[in-house]
Each structure stands twice: as C-alpha cells, then as structure tokens.
Structure 1
C-alpha cells in the first residue's frame, strides 16, 4: 500500500515549522544564500518535515552543512543504487586511523543517512520497502566495514587467530537477527546480533598467543562499542546481544560447534522463531553460510511441526501478559492486532511447513506472505488484507519514530505528537487516523485468531466447552464399559463393543503407554475431537477402524495430533477420505507426512496440470544441494505421495473423472522420471565424464526412457508399475571424457542402473515406483540399455508379435528430443510393416488364449461361447473373456493389421484414441467403437474403485454382462478366437 499525500499542515504544527525554519536559517549564517537557492517545493518540504520531526529540526540546526550537502548531492530526491551506501561508508573509512575517529565518522554518517531517510519517508518519495532497505543496508555496511577495520588492527595487536583443525586464519561471523536479518529495519531499530567463529585455536604472530575465544570476545566488545556507545555525535545502532545462547549470562562469542551443540540440546521454541530471520551481516560470509546450514535443522524440522503453533501461542500469551503489566495496549507492535501478530502468522506457517516446503525458508515477511498465497496456504483476499494492514502498521511505526529518532511503538498521548502522527500518515486529524488504525488492528487480530488462537477458546474452554468434550470421560475411562458402549451406540456406532475395544487397545497399547507427558496431553485433546466428528459420519465403525491405526502410528510423534487438533477441517477431511478408501487410510498411516495435504481443501481437490506439476517438482529439487542424494530421494517420494493422494481424493470427491485421473497419475510419473533422469545424468557424468556420439561430439544426453503398457498408454492407475525401456544413441565403444573414463555402453548401463535405484529403493517414505524392464529387447536376458540401432534391429528381425503389440502402446516419456524423434520413426516403421493377417490373427488369438488360461477365472478361461461367463461367480475385469485385455488385444491387432494403409492408427498410444481412428478410417462401425470405449472406461473405473478399496480387480460375476457380450461379439467378428 502507499500512504495518501500529506495533508495541509495543521494549525498546531505551524509554530513548529516556523521555529524550525528560524533556527535553521540562524544556524546557516554564512550558508543563507544556499538555502535561498533551494526550489520553493524543497523549502516547503523542509518546513513540513521539520514540523513533524524534532530529529530533522535538531540535526539541521546542529549541522546545517550536512543538510545542504545532502540537498546538493541530489540524494534527497533520489533512491540510492544497490551498493552505493556501502561504497560511501567504505570511502569514508579509507583514511581513518584511530578507533575514536572510526566511531565519530560512523555516527556522523548515520545521522546524515537518518536525516535523508526520514526526509524521503515523510515526503512520500520513498515507500516502506525502500526505507527498510536503506536502513538495513546502513546497518550491514556499518557492521561489516567497522568489523574489518577493527579486525586488522586487532590482529596487529594480538596476532591472527588460526583454526586448530584447518590451520587457516579465522574470522568472526556476525549474524543479524529479527528485522535486520529480514532487511526490515525500522527508523529506530535496535540491531539483534549473534557472534560466532568457525573453530577453536590460538593467535599467531604476537608475543603472547590468545585463545580464539578470547580474541573474538575482545574484538566483539570493540565492535559493539564502535556501534552502540553514545557519544556527543549520538550512536550508530543500539546493539542487543540477548538473543545469543544463554542470553546476557552467556559468553559473547561461540564457536560453530558450541552453537550447534547448544541449539541441538537446549534450543527453545522462541529461539527457532528468532533464527528464521538470521542472516550473515558481517565478517566471513562463506563461513556464515556454513553456520546457517548447520543450524537449519534446528529451525526447520523435516516433518510437519504443528507443535510450533503451541509454542507461538505460549509466546503470544507471555507478550500479552507483559503488555498488560506494562500498560502497552497502545503499542502498535506488541499490542492486540499489532505488527508482531502478522509476523507470528507468517512464521507459524514457516515453522510448521518450512522443513518440507523449502519455498517458505525465506526471511522478508511480505515475500513469505506472497509465498503463502502462491502455494495455497492462505487465500488471496486474506493475504492482501494482511499485507495492507501490516504496511499501515509499519508506516505508523515509522511515523512514531521519525518524531524524535526514538525506538518506540507506543501511540502518543500529547496533542502535538498526535497531530504529527496523523499529519505524517496523511489524515486530517487524529480521530480519522485512529479510526483507520483500529480498523487494521481489528482485521489483523481476526486473522491472527484464525491461525494462532486455541480452537477451544470460542467454545468456552475447559473440558465441558472443548470440542468433543462429551467424549472425554469415555476416553479417560471415567465410564464403565456398559456406559461407554451405551454412549457409542446412541451416537451411531453399529458395533459399540468393538469400537470400545479398539479405543481401549489404543489407550493401553505400548505406543501410548510410552508417550511423554506432553504427547499424552495432546492425545487426550485429540481423541474427543476425533470421536465427535467420527460419530457424525455415516459409517463411524469403519472410520474408527481405519483412523485409529494412524493415531497409534503417530502417537510418539504427537505433532501430527496437534496438526489435526488445530485444524478441524483437516480432521474432517481425514475422516471422509479414510471412510471412503482403505487405500488412502493405509497411505496416511504409513506416511503421516501426508496429513499436510489435508490442510488446504482447495489444493487437495484440485491437483495441478502437467506443466505446473513439473515446475513445482523442479523448484523443490533446485532448493536441495546437488550432492544431497538422500534429501533428493525423500523430496521425490514425498512429492509422489502427496500428489497421488490429491488425485485419489479428487477421484473420490468426484472432481476428477476416470480419464483425468489416469492423465494426472501419468503426468506425475513423467515429472518424476524427468527429474530422476536429470539427477542420475549429473551424478554419472560427474563420476565418469560425458559419453560421446559416433561423430565424437558429446551426448546431451542422447538417452530416452520409453514407457510401455499403462504409462505408455496414458492409463496409469493407483499403484501401477512402470513398464520401461531405456534407449541411447551414443557410441558404445567411445570412452567418456572424465577422469575415470569408461566406454559408452558401460556408461549408459550404469546410468540405467542409477535410474532404477532411485525409483525402487525403499526409504522411510517408501519406493517411488516398482519398475518392470522385461519388455526390453530379449527381455530379462537382454541388455539393460539398448542402443537405438540395436533396438531397431531387434524389432525388425527378432521381436515376437506380442512385442509388436506392446509397441503399439510405447512412447518416449522423457529424455533427448532428437532420440525421441528417431525412436518414433522406428516405432512407426515397425508397426506399419506388411503383415499376413491370417498369421497375425492366429498369433494374437493364441497369446490371448494362453493369458486367459493362466490368469483368468476358471469358469471363463476358455472363453468359449458368448454366454459362457453368465454362471461365473466372479469377473476378473482385466483377464476374463470380454474384459480389458480383450479390448486391448483387439486394438493392438487392428493397429498391426491396418496401420500400413492407415498410419494415423498408431499416432496415439492410448486405446480410446486408437478406437476413434478405427472409426474415422471406417474399419469399425461407430456403434461398435462406442461400445468398446464405454465398456473399456467402465471396466477401468471399476478397477480404480477396487484399487482404492484395496481389493483385487475382480467383481461379482453378475456385473457387466451386456458389456462382456458386446466385446466378445466384436472379438469373434474380427476373426479372433
């Protein structure tokens, strides 16, 4: 947001303006002409700024030449370029030789910049972002350049600190916390710092060696003095070191090992909250980056961490108590609906989700809010309102601090300062400003309550008022079994005794008995809520049966219980999905991190399209170090699990029809394979070098992954295997160009092995996919990776008819576009060959008969007669006569038989569009095509439903008689038997 233009100067501020003009002119004396040369608008701006800010009035009186120089430089009317402020400070310190002079120069420069920043802020020439950036840049430059100035002189006095382990010179790392870390300093901020150094050791080059700890402690003290000490010139920045380990009672500086050990063993929740914004602002930037990497696991947990909500709520309660105790309800930062509440909202999401959603691992609050909107955590209207409210509060904070350069967030009680604040904020009077301020504080408080507030508060609190409180006596065994069963029965449980036994088994089970006190409290808060919502479900017995194993699984990691307790909507969705599908219930039980997906209803039931899916995965992986294979594998698996759940949830909710479900699951597999290929290519090239083509040029990557079967035919289902073939077009004999060269054939084989390893390795998040490579040339006896030439020769000279049938559904999923095009040419040439139709019919029929005999149900294995199936007790959707494979075989037969005359038949790999092609070529009647398409979709839809119910693809024999009869009729009419 931007503030309205400054209103007319109120009458009660006019005397301040007149007084400032008079004292400025008096102080100028010999410079009076310079002021007279100012344009009228600048003179008017001075009067208005000085009327609003005592600091500007006093600085212009105390050092009028400073303001004149600022005006002459043009800096009052323009933004500073990136790095310009640091360059000015560096130039200022070039010829500085004395420590006292260092402090004097920094203070005078700070006053000059403070005057410029306030001037530009109050005249609306700078927005909030520029003001905060300039103040943060000023702090960065002051800290870092003062540190380096002091370091060289400190080394000259005490020697250079050397690390015991590395033998290298050591530097201090200065971490900026809070608003400094996020580039959000306000007009009169303290700077919160933490000092660290990489490793222990001693100084070298002086008569008496100092321990590195002592060296950096003394250096840190000198740095604080250079910045913080109040002299006749004021101060540079007030320095607050209380955020360091152990606070004011702890050492001033810590080695990296000591910092890591402290946060690992003793770090508290508020320290995690503070460390979110930590940034290296001075000293050794490279070592500082290593330190932040070491501390990241403390801040961002790899699992969903809803316990952060409780910690933030406790912190807020402590702040509110302090606010009330000190009478600070009028504080725009700490009071209700203040700046801190917006920060808490953003950082709650960061602490909860940031370990897994790396896009949240950033510092500036407004960017975090944008990410929360972009990633679907908060709706756009909520984010827009919070951003506007936050900016209004920050502008108000700046208005309060601009008056006297004091660190205050308290609304004034004097009429003069109230008039100043209203004027700075662009309002005609205090009443109009205060009304708007209270509007924004009310909106911020409301949003804060939605995220941070205790979900029981609005229910009145206490066991009677908490959600599901009527179930608490039952869970805590205050009821005998008869009374408990009666309550369960009256609430809709069909088998109350079974439900009671399940709850009792959970309560007395080893997982719950081993819980710590805090975890048990969380479980006791959760179970009544679960029972309350379960009782409202149409089949509460089934829900309890499926959800309680998940509760037992997460009992020792009770942050997941907090997630569901804090988010009734997520708990409701858990109950609905588990009630609808045991497959989903099992997935969530095995991988509780999927509970995160239940938080956002809009995102859960609207999975992204293929380009968005690929972009999201690519972005996730770019945030992981290239050499961290373990984290890359976990990220891939979590991505697959999360999006598979979203597709299943959408299918159950009816927001995705069958064909789209298969599309999404296929796109998901392709996005994952694309990144797996990219990762394994980088790893293999890093180890062996890049393989070469026949002409000696380097491959890039000249490799494709071909999908067969369901993934090739865009008919992927829940739990489908990947039928893959790997093909390369490099020179098998030419060696790679790396330090450990191997020939091209070996390179691509090892690349293929790495791909399979990444896909199939079991981690804590399971495997990505089961992979079947038996469709490669010569099957299990053949090479893992074929050259394109070898693949072509095999298909032309050695492949069986059934392998050509499989080729109908083959397509390149990911890899080199050039090789993909060449593969497609080979595929079309092989499929379009002239064939003996009688021989083809016989071979297709023979293969189908074998499959029916081996895989179909006994009653219809032979497939004899149009009504042979009617007495069967069951129907295997895939293998029985008249089922899915019959339709697939007819499509494949037609493609092989007629694609020479009608090449468009093999343009697509999915059965539905090939059938469309058969109608367009007048090879099958329209009615027959629609019969086959509708039967095929009906079978696949039933198979999907079975999969979500964790049932095999077999249904009752009294189903699909008309479809089966029609399929078998067309089978015979094609001459197949």
Structure 2
C-alpha cells in the first residue's frame, strides 16, 4: 500500500490537505527521495498522520525534501535526541559573524523541531522524552550562541574580569518550563541574565568597559540571535520580564544586586517563579552558587502557610485575565488545566520545601513522585494528577505542533479540532472532550482541596463569637460576653474573660502589624466557635490562649489555622484533651504541621519505616553541620511522638501499642546518634582495629537499653537507661587513621558524643535524658565496657538486682554480631541455676529498699509505679520468676516485656493462670493511667479509691509468690 492509499484512510476532512501536501512534495523531491520514503515502512505508515495533523512539519518537509531524507538516513528520526551541545558545535563550526550564526541556529532548530514533532505525533516518544528533548535543544542553542557571541565581544572589548583579574562570564538562568526541563513545543523561553562580580574588561581594543556595560551588550546580542525573525524563522521568542524589576530593571545584574533584590524587594510570585530556576548556559558552577544563595528566599526553614494566600491570589489574577481574554477553553490557564496541577504541587513545595529538601524539585513529575513517596498525596491522587498532567501536556504539544504557534486554547474550527483529536488517538472531538473533562475535573477538585480556604466571608457581625471578639475585652467583664460564655457551657466564665482580657491586651498582640491584627481578628471568632463545641471548654480555651500568645507574632501560623478549618478543629480537640500536647505545640508551633500532614495523624509510620523517614530528612543536610543534624533529630522525635499521642488520645491506639511506637522512635534515634558519632570519630582517627590470634579485624560497638526502653514500654517523657559495649580484644588495639588513638579512648569518646547528641538542650529541646549508671560498676565504673569485662562482671561481681535489670535489657543499636553476642551473654547469665530462697530474699530486700526510698504514696494518693501493689511489684515478680526458672524454661528469655512473660509463666504452670490474668490486667490499667496522666502533664499518682481491686490483687500475688504467705 503506497502513501496515497494510506492517506485515504484518514478522515475525509484531513485527506484533502494531506493529499495536496504529498503532491507538492513529489514535485519538489527527487525520485530517490520519494522512493526512500515509500520504502521506509515506518515513515510511509506515519507520514499521513503527521502531515495531516501538523502543517508545520509538512511544510518544512515539502519545502526542504533533503531535511526528511537526512533525518531518515542518519537514523535520527528513529532515536531519542542526545548530546545536543556536541552536535550543535559540529553544525555551527567556525561561525564568525552574527548573520551566519543566526542562520545556522535556525536551521538546526528547524531540523530538530521536525524530528521531535514527528516522534511525538507518532507516539514513538513519551511525553517526558518530548519535553526533555525540547528543553535540551533550547539549552544547547542558548549556550552555543552565548559562547560564540562572548568570544567575539571579548575580541572587541576585552575579557570582563573582577577586581582580582579573574575572568567573568554571563550566566543565563532558565525559568518556567525551560527551568523545569518541561519546555513545550512552541514555548517562549523565560530568561534572567546575571554575572558574578563587578569590574571591567581587560585586553580589549580602546578603553576598558565596565562589566555591566559588557554583559548588557552581550545579553542584547544573545536575545537578538534567538528572538529575531529572519527568512529562516526564529529560534525562540525570549521573555525577560521575570528578571528583577521586570521590564524597568537592568537587563543584567551581578550576584550581589540579585541577592539584595530577592531578599528585600521581590514579590510572592517571584518566589514562586524561582522554584524552577536553572542554569541553562554560561558558567554553571558560578550559577549554581547564586541559586544556593537564593535558596532561603525560595524555601523557608519554617512551614510557610502564607503560601496558600499568595498562590491563591496569583491564581485569581490568572483566572481574571483568562476570563477577560476569553480563555475558558485554555488547557493551561483554564479550570483543571496545567497551571492548576503546577500550583497544587508548588503549594506543597513552598510550604514544606524548607524542611523537606526532597521537595526542592524543578521537575513537576519528580515533585509528584516525592509528594506520593512522603504521603502528602495519596497514591490515587498522585496517579490521577500525573496522568492528567501528561495528557494535558501531550495535547498542548500537539496543539502547538499544528502551526508552531504558542497557544493553549482549544481550536473552535472543525479542521483543527479533528487534527488535535486524531493526533491523540481519538476518532472525533466528542471522545477527546470527554476524556479531557474527566482529567480537568480531577485536577480542579484536587486544586480546590489544596488551595481553597475556609470561606470566612460567611461569618457576619451577627455571629455571636464575631461580635464577642470585635466588641473588645475590657478589664471589667462585659455582661453580654459573660452570658454568652455561660450559656455555651463554660464553668468559670469570669476566669475565661480575665484570660481573654490578658491575652488581648498583651504586649505580643499590641505589637501586631496591621496584617497580623486582621488575621487575628479573623481567627479568634473561628477559634471561639470551635471551642464552644468541646466538652472541656475552660481547659481548652486556657491552653489555646497561651498558644495564641506564643504564635501571634508569627502570622504564618495564624494563616494556617484560618486556611485549614480541619487543623483548627483538631488543634482545639487535642488541646482540650491533653495538656501535654497543648504544651508541646505552644513550645514548638511547628508541630501544628502534624495536624495538617496527611501522612501523620491516623496514618502512622510502621516502626521499620522510621529509619527511612529519618534518613530522608537528614540526607540533604550538610555532613559537617552537627547542630543542624541534631536539630533535625529533635524535629523527627517531636513529630513522631506527637503522632503517637494524637492516635492514643483519639482512641486509635492502646497504651501498649503506643509504647511500642515510642520505643521504636527511641531505637531509631539512638541508632542514628551512634552512626553520627561513629562517622565523626572515624573520619578523625580511622576505624578501631585489633589483632586476635594473629588476624587483624575491625572492632565493633553496641548499645544496650535497660528498663522501660529495654522492655519496649516507653512513655511520654521517659528517659533512657543505656549501657555501651565493645568487642575489641587481643593486640594492637588502635584506630587505623592518620591520627590513631587506642580503641578504649575511641569508644569512650564515641559514647560521650552519643550522649552529647541525645542530651544537649537546644532550641528544639533535648532528645532524651540518658542514665548510663546500670553499667558494670555503676557510676564509678567505666563508661564503656568490653564484652569480656561485661561477661566477667555479670558472672562474678554483679548483684542480684543487676541480673534483675538484665531481664529487661535489649540491644538496640550497633554491629549485628555485637547485638547477637550481648543476647548470648544475657541468655547465659539469666539461665544460671540459682538458690531459690537466696534469690527470693535478695529480690525482697531490694524491693523493700526501693519502697522505702522511692514510694511517694500517702493517704491521699497512690504512687502507680512504686506503691504497694503497683507497677514495680509486678515487674519484680516477673524478674524473680525469670531468674528462678529460666534455667529450665529457655523461652522465658525470648522477650523483655511483662505481658508476654506473664503468659509464658502461666503456660509452664510456674504461676497460676489467674495470677497471669490479674497481674496482666493490672499492668494494662496501670500503664494506661500513666499514659493518661503523662498526656495531662500530671505525675503518676491516683486517688486512693481508684483501681483498689487491682492493687489488692497485685498485693495478693506478691504475698503468694514473693512473701510465700
């Protein structure tokens, strides 16, 4: 079947022009060129579609038959474009004058645009390949032109240098689609010209020229070489309006001027634009230095919720302009269009990019992947946005390929509608429109979800809380205000009014800017209305007013609570139900992010996912900035502990499971502290080595957790009881670096640095209080022990209470073989055969000492932990049982938890089933109470008449098992 026969298979409306174009080609082409196309099956198969749908491609093929011939013979039409710079250099050759340069740039552009369009229209190239190819082509053409123009200008005026005589280069920043390497088929290119430092030219003819003058002329020449329309067309339309001060600003600026502008004068939309800024030509290393300097302007270290308002205002202006120009059918600017996908992604980037460097991406699809990876967007939403974006970009490219014209407006004539629909694989316009509408609906729905605020315009002055706040809060309570508080359920309305008065007239609120005051006046009625719906109104209001006082000067948080009613509701709920959460958020307002974070509440990271989460947070931080890394560890802990607390308060997590998570968080942080400390010391001194039986091997290290951490029973605010062990032995025990030290010194410094990382009180607080006194010899013993010394101590010198502590010990960080070796020693020590009576008396004596010194119970309160019949009595029963019977029942040692141990003791009939049930039930209840009280910032004491039956049952079994009564 020849090409004429294939053209007949096109829709009737497309056949006429395709037939005419083929006839024109045959008249211009040589017989050999015509036969080449006819013989190439893939070309013959696709030519009717390409020419019918892209008159631009067809015209160039008809006008220059050798163009298509060359693309076929070289095989370039069938392969993705690569290595544009070298290909362009070969093509340009020794181009000397501007006229020749301009012509060759246009010819190269023509060839490659035909190639890219053909591959795109036939589906040989993915959308991603097309966008990347167009961007790479632009990079090469800009850089190729700049290099030659710079060389010529240097010959004329000399080389621009800084004050030290170092040559300076022009740097071209690509913005928008070019910066993101997502250039569409007939796009303008948005550029900014910069150079590093001021100075003047050296070695030119005549007078020296100021660098500013030199680079301004060079920039003008570069624009002219790309933008000017000649007989051969143009290369790219160049738009310079994104530069500082826009059209009224200098064409070129040095780094200092650029940095000062963005720090002091840039507007919100310029911050948005800089997300995609990329060095596309010139000195790329110097250009990257500038972008690094500007990064704090783009990505704030705090969570920037003001971005909601800024982006919404930008989108409103775009919508207004689109409506004015009648662009409702514009697939870029219209509802559900490309811009809404971009805004959805960039909202997350602007808000979170400073704290989550993985979101600092130029490429939209990469950003979407990161948003899905970190669960800011669900897989379903991310997939839907990705598919919609690719469909819209494909339609945009095909639309522009019709006539190489920059447009995103859908055609309204039948011919071009059919061209677009047919090129995208649809038989008619209606089918295309239906699929397009589905994508646009998904995009717009998600865009509204992300960026649409609470409509506060519906709050009128008649709203009681609006009137309540705007009326002001005088020192003498207003009876109307008092009545409103009383009628909505406040138990102490006068105290609430006094607190409101103190906050309203506080120094922090009096200093607010006009914008800050407006935001506060929007927020307070909303907050008061939500507080009126909770049970603990007085507590909630008191805690929230303290929070408002602490964040009032940071209006970004006021914006968050105004913008996101769900966040406000959750904040009120959790503050009403937990003094601990209220205190944490007041001290660290960044934790409000956890109320907004779709990954956080009610979607906990699994314990084994925590390491990956922490790695992702740390991987972009400077390796030599310990303070920044330590701050990151503290943010990680606060965020994840907050998630656990909110889950537990909401009733989605039992205290036992909450403890599992809290222990997993601690394990993760201790492992990371060990790694950080090890990397630091090994970089200075090398890794510890030793020679054992003539064989040199590395020496290793591990950390053992005791107590609550060892038993996987951490609570909020628990400290860590830890012991450090190493396996260095034999001869030549020293590190292998340039500054070697003895292994014993290395490991002591390692432990000290780990403790420093954990306990240093920074702006973000400390990680954990650390108690290393359970090590061999206690506070007077060495901070770090060898395994041999630890083994000997446990066998020969340890007290019974130290073996009790070993029952709840667990290796949590370090070298795998060291973890296994500790467990072997633990198993051996705990499995020793013991005199039951001596053991019982030792345990009883230790418990009596603890009770005398630590039990804070009185007639008015019961000490949950140390009181008679409390937690420690249950733990001592477990420890006694483990030490007495592990010699015969090895599986007692495969757990460090109280509840699993109780079940195993009952299974082996070592204690009655009833004892296991009652002790387990009491332990569950005690743990629940300690968590509840911790979340209320209260000490672990109960009223004397609470859990009386459980306490009696524990005392009963203590008497039966320990006292033998």
Fold equivalence (TM over 0.5) = yes
Is residue 690–residue 698 contact of structure 1 (8 Å, CA) maintained in 2? Answer: no
Structure 1 residue 193 corresponds to structure 2 residue 194: no
Does 1:427 pair with 2:414?
no
Instruction: Report what 2:683 is aligned to.
Output: 686
Task: Report what 2:594 is aligned to.
Answer: 597
- Quick one: distance in 2 between partners of 1:232 and 1:613? 62
Mapped pair 1:878 → 2:877 = no
Structure 2 distance, partners of 1:274, 1:697, is 61
What's the CA shift string for 1:47-73, capped at 9, x where partnerless? 332222221122112211011111223
Distance 1:826 1:440, change over 3 A: closer
Indicate conservation of the 8 Å contact 2:388/2:440, yes or no. Answer: yes
Shift of 1:462: 5.6
SS at match of 1:693: strand
Residue number in structure 2 paired with 1:922: 909
Of residues 860, 875, 880, the one that matches 1:893 is 880
Query: Aligned equivalents of 2:715 and 2:55: distance in 1?
Result: 71
- In the other structure, the counterpart of 1:572 is 569
Offset of residue 186 of structure 1: 0.5
CA distance in 1, matches of 2:799, 2:154: 79
For residues 907 and 198 of structure 1, the distance between their equivalents in structure 2, rounded to whole angstroms, comes to: 64
Q: CA deviation at 1:388?
A: 3.0
Contact kept? 1:6, 1:423, Cα under 8 Å: no
Distance 1:966 1:854 in 2: 24
Distance 2:292 2:246 in 1: 22
**Cα distance, 1:435 vs structure 2:** 4.6
| 1:622-701 paired onto structure 2 within 5 Å | 622-695=619-692
Q: Find the counterpart in structure 1 of residue 62 from structure 2.
A: 61
Taking the aligned partners of 1:131 and 1:836, their CA distance within structure 2 comes to: 80
- Equivalent-residue separation in structure 1 for 2:466 and 2:505 (angstroms): 16
Aligned residue runs from structure 1 range 771-790, under 5 A: 771-790=770-789
Deviation of 1:14 (Å): 1.9
Alignment match, 1:512:
509
Change (3 A) 1:692 1:701: closer
Residues 689 and 699 in structure 2, CA contact (< 8 A), matched pair in contact too: no
2:415 counterpart residue number? 416
Q: How far has the Cα of 1:9 moved from its partner? A: 2.9
**Is the Cα contact below 8 Å between 2:640 and 2:665 reproduced in 1?**
yes
Find the counterpart in structure 2 of residue 862 from structure 1.
none
Report deviation, 1:836: 3.3
Instruction: State the alpha-carbon separation in 2 of the partners of residues 19 and 790 from structure 1.
Output: 94
1:896-907 pair list within 5 angstroms: 896-907=883-894
Between 1:875-884 and 1:145-154, the stretch displaced more is 145-154
| More off after superposition, 949-958 vs 793-802 | 793-802
**Partner deviation per Cα, 1:538-557 (whole Å, 9 max, x = no partner):** 22222111111111111111
Please give the alpha-carbon distance, in whole angstroms, between the structure 1 residues aligned to 2:961 and 2:747.
43
- Cα 1:333/1:33, change in 2 over 3 Å: closer
Write the mapping of 1:29-428 to structure 2, written as runs, cut at 5 A.
29=30, 31-35=32-36, 37-39=38-40, 42-80=43-81, 83-164=82-163, 168-206=166-204, 209-428=208-427
> Using the alignment, how far apart are the partners of 2:315 and 2:695 within structure 1?
63
Q: How far apart are residue 342 of structure 1 and its match?
A: 1.5
Structure 2 CA distance for aligned equivalents of residues 746 and 17 of structure 1: 83
Instruction: Find the aligned partners of 2:277 and 2:155 in 1 and give their Cα distance.
Output: 31
1:523 aligns with 2:520: yes
Partner SS, residue 689 of structure 2: coil
CA distance in 1, matches of 2:181, 2:433: 28
What residue number does 1:869 align with? Answer: none
Within the candidate set 945, 949, 956, 2:936 is matched to 949
Pair 854,873 (structure 1): closer, same or farther in 2 beyond 3 Å: same
The DSSP-based 3-state class of the residue aligned with 1:952 is: coil
Correspondence for 2:3: none
Residue 424 to residue 836, structure 1, CA distance change in 2 (3 Å)? same
Note the C-alpha offset of 1:187.
0.4
Asked if structure 2 preserves the Cα contact closer than 8 Å seen for 1:198 and 1:256, the reply is yes
Contact in 1 for aligned 2:690/2:734 (Cα 8 Å): no
Once the two structures are overlaid, the 10-residue window that deviates more, 710-719 or 404-413, is: 404-413
- Whether the 8 Å CA contact 2:453–2:562 is kept in 1: the answer is no
Question: Separation in 1 of the partners of 2:828 and 2:869?
Answer: 31
> Please, which moves more after superposition, 384-393 or 265-274?
384-393
SS at structure 1 position matched to 2:61:
helix
CA contact (8 A) 1:670 1:813 kept: yes
Q: In structure 2, the residue corresponding to 1:603 is in which secondary structure?
A: coil
Which residue, out of 536, 560, 572, partners 2:557?
Answer: 560
Q: Give CA-to-partner distance per residue, 1:174-198, whole Å, 9 cap, x none.
A: 2221111222110011121223333
Cα deviation, residue 699, structure 1: 7.3
Q: Shift of the alpha carbon at 1:99?
A: 4.2
- SS of the aligned residue for 1:812 comes to strand
Report deviation, 1:308. 0.4
Q: How far apart are residue 474 of structure 1 and its match? A: 1.2
Give yes or no for contact 2:688–2:700 (8 Å, CA) kept in 1: no
- Counterpart Cα distance in 2 of 1:693 and 1:662: 39
Q: Is the 8 A contact 2:689 2:732 kept in 1?
A: no
Once the two structures are superposed, residues 789-832 of structure 1 have per-residue CA deviations (whole angstroms, 9 ceiling, x without a partner) of 23223323332222222122111111111222222222223323
Q: List per-residue Cα deviations over 1:805-863 (Å, max 9, x = no partner).
A: 2122111111111222222222223323343333322222111111111111355xxxx
1:620 deviation in Å?
Answer: 1.5
How much has 1:420 moved relative to structure 2?
2.2
Task: Name which of structure 1's ranges 963-972 and 271-280 shifts more when overlaid on structure 2.
Answer: 963-972
How far the C-alpha of 1:343 sits from its partner, in A, is 1.0
| Change in CA separation of 1:150 and 1:740 when aligned onto 2, cut-off 3 Å | farther
Q: How many pairs are equivalent?
A: 953
CA distance in 1, matches of 2:299, 2:518: 24
Displacement of 1:670 in angstroms is: 0.9
- Tell me how far 1:950 sits from its aligned partner: 1.1
* CA drift at 1:885: 0.7
Match of 1:464 in 2: 460
Q: Is the 8 A contact 2:374 2:599 kept in 1?
A: no
Matched residue of 1:692: which SS? strand
CA contact (8 A) 1:701 1:816 kept: no
SS at match of 2:580: helix
Offset from partner CA, 1:350-387 (integer Å, 9 cap, x none): 11111112222112222322332332323333333333
**d(CA) in 1 for partners of 2:948, 2:333:** 71
Comparing 952-961 and 258-267, the one that deviates more: 258-267
Distance 1:237 1:913, change over 3 A: same
Superposed displacement of residue 886, structure 1: 1.0
Find the residue that maps to 2:76 and give its secondary structure.
coil
Check whether the contact 1:54–1:404 (CA below 8 A) recurs between aligned residues: yes
Instruction: State the Cα distance separating 1:206 from its structure 2 match.
Output: 4.4
Contact 2:807 2:879 in 1 (8 A): yes
Distance in 1 (CA, whole Å) between partners of 2:598 and 2:262 is 35
Structure 1 match to 2:583: 586
CA distance in 1, matches of 2:628, 2:172: 29
CA deviations 1:259-282 (Å, max 9, x no partner) are 222211222211111111122222
2:725 matched to which residue of 1?
Answer: 727
- Check whether the contact 1:915–1:929 (CA below 8 A) recurs between aligned residues: yes
Shift of 1:651: 0.8
Measure, in 2, the Cα distance between the counterparts of 1:290 and 1:710. Answer: 49
CA contact (8 A) 1:9 1:423 kept: no
Partners of 1:899 and 1:32 lie apart in 2 by: 90
**CA drift at 1:8:** 5.8
Q: Bigger shift: 304-313 or 318-327?
A: 318-327
Contact 1:680–1:751 (Cα < 8 Å) also in 2: yes
3-state SS of the aligned residue for 1:48? helix
Distance 1:210 1:891 in 2: 87
Q: Distance in 1 between matches of 2:7 and 2:79?
A: 19
After superposition, the Cα gap between the structure-2 partners of 1:237 and 1:309, relative to the gap in structure 1 and judged at 3 Å, is same
Q: Distance in 2 between matches of 1:258 and 1:168?
A: 19
